[in-house]
Amino acid sequence: MNIGYGESLFLAAFDHRSSFSRGLFGASEPLPPGVADKIADAKELIFEAFERAIARGAPPELCGVLVDEQFGATVARKAKARRFLLAMPVEQSGQREFRLQYGAEFGRHIEAFDPDFCKVLVRYNPEDDRAMNQRQTERLAQLSDWLHAHGRKFLFELLVPATREQLESCGGEDRFDRDLRGGLVVETLGELQAGGVEPDIWKIEGLETATDCKRVVAQARTGTGRGDVVCIVLGRGASMERVLGWLATAAPVPGFEGFAIGRTLWEAALQKYVSGAATREETRQAIADRYLRALAVYAESASRGRRTQGMEAKPKDSKARVEG
């Protein structure tokens, strides 16, 4: 079985559900009357900003949206109709342990929307709850088999939450990111692969060094049939400057092929919009600006990395075609 993806991929991610309702509207399930409509409208606004970015020069063949069925079904159908790349989640939202949102019916929901990528978000630390890790791996392997049997691309968003002991050993979150995260990500990929989990694309938390990026790519591509597997960077809701730093670090590394950024692009702008401090047009413009800035930094960093390494971009090199 050969897996992977042959292009760069730049996703505006707004598949958030429970965190979206809590963060923007202070609501939790069951949602008060009218809140679901407000959430759906906010997601429509993010999509409008994405379309604005495309109109301003973002490459439509490499750009897409990651949006959910619960609140973003209309957006998903619009993206599909307009031939933008579409990724959709299949996991339950806001859960520590991975489970499928629609249980045994997950395949019917995938077929109904026909996304280009089926995404899972998984929290997995190899030094944490081993029993939970094993349960998750078994469920993910079954999903992986189904997706590939049905010709579906598998997008795996990996979060490695630090344990209390890890934070204490290294002196806090920043040191954890710098000193421990890379090794734990590599270990996690190996365990999941050994358990039969075979993503086409790994969506990875930002790494602090090119060395860690290279280690992660090497693990993602280890073994037979994984030579085309790629990694992309996720934003983790971090500040724009920190996310841009992660993009600049990863972009020059062969095997890193883009990003999927969410709250960093839209959270602050939507908070102002929801509070009445910004108009719809101002919000649309602010989100589009941030998306385009991320694209520009990624493209420039990838190009600078090729120059540093003495390599010329090939005409079909998708990284060379990203413009801000």
158 pLDDT band, cuts 50/70/90, is very high
- Cα dist. 289→8, 50, 105, 280, 284 in Å? 20, 10, 38, 14, 9
Lowest mean pLDDT among 27-31, 235-239, 250-254: 27-31
Average pLDDT over residues 102-129: 97
Whether 101 has a pLDDT exceeding 50, the answer reads yes
Tell me what the pLDDT averaged over the chain comes to. 94
Report field, pTM of the whole predicted structure over 0.85 = yes
305 pLDDT band, cuts 50/70/90, is confident
Instruction: Give percent of the chain above pLDDT 70.
Output: 94
Average pLDDT over residues 203-212: 97
Alpha-carbon torsion (183, 184, 189, 195), positive or negative: positive
Q: Which domains does the chain have, with CATH numbers?
A: 9-317 (3.20.20.70)
239-275, pLDDT tens digit by residue?
A: 999 999 999 999 999 999 999 999 999 999 999 999 9
Confidence at residue 167, expressed as pLDDT on a 0 to 100 scale: 96
